[in-house]
Chain A
C-alpha cells in the first residue's frame, strides 16, 4: 500500500439512518387554513362590490343635482325610484314585468334545450351533421332581429311572437356550442365503452352528453342577453304589454324618467336570471 487508496471499494457500501421514522410534525406550528383564506377573500370582494355600487349611484345622484350632467336625459337615482314607485302603485309595471320576464324566460328555456338537442343530435350521424352545419352557421349569421316584423305578423302581437323571437335568438348559438362539445368527445372513451359491451345510446348518454355539458352551459349566460333582446325588440314592434312597450311609450311622450325605470327593471331581471343560471350551472356541472 502506498497510502493512495482513493479507489472505490464496493464491499464498503453501507447504509446510515439519519432520522427516526414517523415523527409527527409538531402541531403548534401555525398553518394557514386554505378554506378560511379563500372565504375571507370572498367576503372582501363582496364588500368591495357593494361599495362600488353605492359609489356609482351616489355619483350619479350628486352629478345630476349639481347639473354637471343633464338630469333631463340622465334622470337620477332618486327620480327613477320615485317614478318607479308611482307606476308600481298604478299596477301596470307589475303586469309589464310579468309579460317580459315570462316571454324571455320561456324563450330562453326552449331555445337552450332545443339548441342542446339539435347540437347533440349531430353526434349520431356525421353525414347529417356535415349536410346541416353550413346552414346553421349561415342562419346564425343572419341578424334575426331584422326578421322581427315578419314574426310579429306571423305569430301575432301577443305573447307568442316574443317567445318565438327569444327562442330564435338562442337556439342556434346553443346548438353550435353543443356541437363543439360533440366534436371534442374523446375517441378513446368511446372505444372504452364499446369494450364494455356498450351500444351507441350508452356512449351517447354516458360520454357524449357529459362531455358536451360544459359547452352547453357556457352558452347559458350569453343566452340571457340574447333572449332579452329578442323579447324587447318584439315588444318595440308591437305589443299591448311588456317593459319594452313601456319604454317605447315613455320615449314617445318624452317621459325620460320612465324610460330609465324600464332600463333598471330590465337590468334587475337579467341579474336575477344570471343568478338563476349560476345555480343551474352548478347543478349541471356536478363533478366536472
Chain B
C-alpha cells in the first residue's frame, strides 16, 4: 500500500465571478520513505496541491489518503514547510523550532530540552538564542525545516525550500537535507523548479504541465546513493537533465 495517495484531486477557485482552474485532476502514489520531487512551471498548482495534502485547503474533487485513511480537509497529519520560512520574528530560533511541540501540549521547557541537541547536530549550534532576523537565509531555512521535523510526522512536504538561496548555499543545503532524510527515514515530497536539484535529491520526479497543472510524467531516477558532487557529472544525470529540460520547454510555449 502506498504511504500517501492523492486520488483525483483537483481545485477550482471562484472569485469575483471569475473561475480559476488551479489544479486539474491529479493522481499520485507515494511509497514509504521515498524522496519524491514535483517539478513544473510557476503557477501550475504545486503549492495548491501541497495545501490540499496538508489539509489547509479543501479540494474541489478527490481525496488524500495517508496509510489508507482519508485525511482530506484535515490539517496536522503531515509535516509541511511552506514556501516562506515563516519563523516568528519575536521568538528565538530555539523557541521557533519547538512551536509544533507546544501546540501538541509539550511544555516549553521539555520542548527546548528535546530540540536543543537536534539543533546543535544539524548546523544551528550557537544560534539557539538568536532571533530570525539575525540569521542568513540558509540558516533560517534550516530552522524552518527542523521545526517541521520536530513535529515528527512520517510524511513531510517541502515547498521550494531553497528557492531563494544562492547557488552555493543551495548545494550545501541539499547535501544537508539528504543527510537529514537518511537519519530520520521520512517520506519527503519536494517542490522545486530547479531541474538539477530535483534529480540530485529524488528517487522519483513528477513533472507537471503548465497551468492549470496536471501530472504529465513520472520519472524514476536511477542514480546510486549516497549522492555527492560527483553525481552531478554522472552520465545518466546529464541524460535525465536533458530529457527533463525538453519536457519543461514544451510547457513554456502557450
Distance A194 CA – B78 CA, assembled complex (angstroms): 11
Asked whether A195 lies within 8 Å of B88 as measured between CB atoms, the reply is no
Query: Across the interface, which residues of B come within 8 angstroms of A58, CB to CB?
Result: none
Asked whether B103 lies within 8 Å of A202 as measured between CB atoms, the reply is yes
B84 on interface, CB distance cutoff 8 Å: yes
A30 on interface, CB distance cutoff 8 Å: no
Distance A210 CA – B104 CA, assembled complex (angstroms): 20
Whole-angstrom distance from the CB of A52 to the nearest CB of chain B? 36
Bin chain B's interface residue count. Answer: 20 to 34
Distance A287 CA – B96 CA, assembled complex (angstroms): 12
> For window 185-241 of chain A, which residues contact chain B by CB distance below 8 Å?
186, 188-189, 191-198, 202, 206-207, 210, 213
8 smallest A-B Cβ distances: which pairs? A197-B76, A287-B90, A195-B80, A196-B100, A192-B86, A198-B103, A194-B75, A288-B90
Other CB < 8 Å A-B pairs besides A195-B80, A202-B103, 16 of them?
A186-B86, A188-B84, A189-B88, A191-B82, A192-B82, A192-B86, A193-B99, A194-B56, A196-B103, A196-B151, A197-B75, A198-B103, A210-B90, A213-B90, A287-B91, A287-B131
Query: Across the interface, which residues of B come within 8 angstroms of A213, CB to CB?
Result: 90
User: Can you name the residue of chain A whose Cβ is closest to the Cβ of B84?
Assistant: A188
Distance A213 CA – B79 CA, assembled complex (angstroms): 29
Query: Across the interface, which residues of B come within 8 angstroms of A287, CB to CB?
Result: 89-92, 131
A-B contact count (CB 8 A): 55
Whole-angstrom distance from the CB of A53 to the nearest CB of chain B? 36
Whole-angstrom distance from the CB of B57 to the nearest CB of chain A? 9
Distance A197 CA – B80 CA, assembled complex (angstroms): 11
Asked whether A188 lies within 8 Å of B92 as measured between CB atoms, the reply is no
Query: Across the interface, which residues of A come within 8 angstroms of B75, CB to CB?
Result: 194-195, 197
Distance A28 CA – B32 CA, assembled complex (angstroms): 59
User: Can you name the residue of chain A whose Cβ is closest to the Cβ of B153?
Assistant: A197
Whole-angstrom distance from the CB of A211 to the nearest CB of chain B? 8
Asked whether B90 lies within 8 Å of A195 as measured between CB atoms, the reply is no
From known contacts A192-B82, A192-B86, infer whether A197 and B91 are also in contact, taking CB-CB under 8 Å: no
Query: Across the interface, which residues of B come within 8 angstroms of A202, CB to CB?
Result: 102-103
Distance A31 CA – B39 CA, assembled complex (angstroms): 49
Distance A197 CA – B75 CA, assembled complex (angstroms): 6
Distance A197 CA – B153 CA, assembled complex (angstroms): 11
Distance A195 CA – B155 CA, assembled complex (angstroms): 13
From known contacts A195-B54, A195-B56, infer whether A189 and B86 are also in contact, taking CB-CB under 8 Å: yes
Query: Across the interface, which residues of A come within 8 angstroms of B151, CB to CB?
Result: 196-197
Distance A197 CA – B55 CA, assembled complex (angstroms): 10
Whole-angstrom distance from the CB of B86 to the nearest CB of chain A? 5
Asked whether B82 lies within 8 Å of A188 as measured between CB atoms, the reply is yes
Asked whether B82 lies within 8 Å of A206 as measured between CB atoms, the reply is no
Distance A287 CA – B134 CA, assembled complex (angstroms): 12
Distance A192 CA – B157 CA, assembled complex (angstroms): 12
Residue among B89, B90, B100 with the most chain A CB within 10 A?
B90
Query: Across the interface, which residues of B come within 8 angstroms of A288, CB to CB?
Result: 89-90
> For window 59-114 of chain B, which residues contact chain A by CB distance below 8 Å?
75-76, 79-80, 82, 84, 86, 88-92, 99-100, 102-104
Interface string of A156-195 (1 = CB under 8 A from B): 0000000000000000000000000000001011011111
Distance A213 CA – B103 CA, assembled complex (angstroms): 21
From known contacts A191-B56, A197-B75, A287-B131, infer whether A210 and B103 are also in contact, taking CB-CB under 8 Å: no
Distance A131 CA – B56 CA, assembled complex (angstroms): 28
Query: Across the interface, which residues of A come within 8 angstroms of B80, CB to CB?
Result: 195
Query: Across the interface, which residues of A come within 8 angstroms of B92, CB to CB?
Result: 287
Distance A160 CA – B90 CA, assembled complex (angstroms): 38
Distance A206 CA – B151 CA, assembled complex (angstroms): 16
* Residue from A186, A189, A191, A195 in contact with B76 in the complex, judged by beta carbons closer than 8 Å: A195
Asked whether B131 lies within 8 Å of A206 as measured between CB atoms, the reply is no
Distance A101 CA – B68 CA, assembled complex (angstroms): 67
Query: Across the interface, which residues of A come within 8 angstroms of B51, CB to CB?
Result: 191
Asked whether B54 lies within 8 Å of A196 as measured between CB atoms, the reply is no
Distance A146 CA – B100 CA, assembled complex (angstroms): 51
* Residue from A186, A188, A196, A286 in contact with B99 in the complex, judged by beta carbons closer than 8 Å: A196
Asked whether A196 lies within 8 Å of B82 as measured between CB atoms, the reply is no
Can you report 27 A-B residue pairs in the complex whose CB atoms are below 8 A from each other? A188-B82, A188-B86, A191-B56, A191-B82, A193-B99, A194-B75, A194-B76, A195-B54, A195-B76, A195-B79, A195-B80, A196-B76, A197-B76, A197-B100, A197-B151, A198-B76, A202-B103, A206-B88, A206-B99, A206-B102, A206-B103, A210-B88, A213-B90, A287-B91, A287-B131, A288-B89, A288-B90
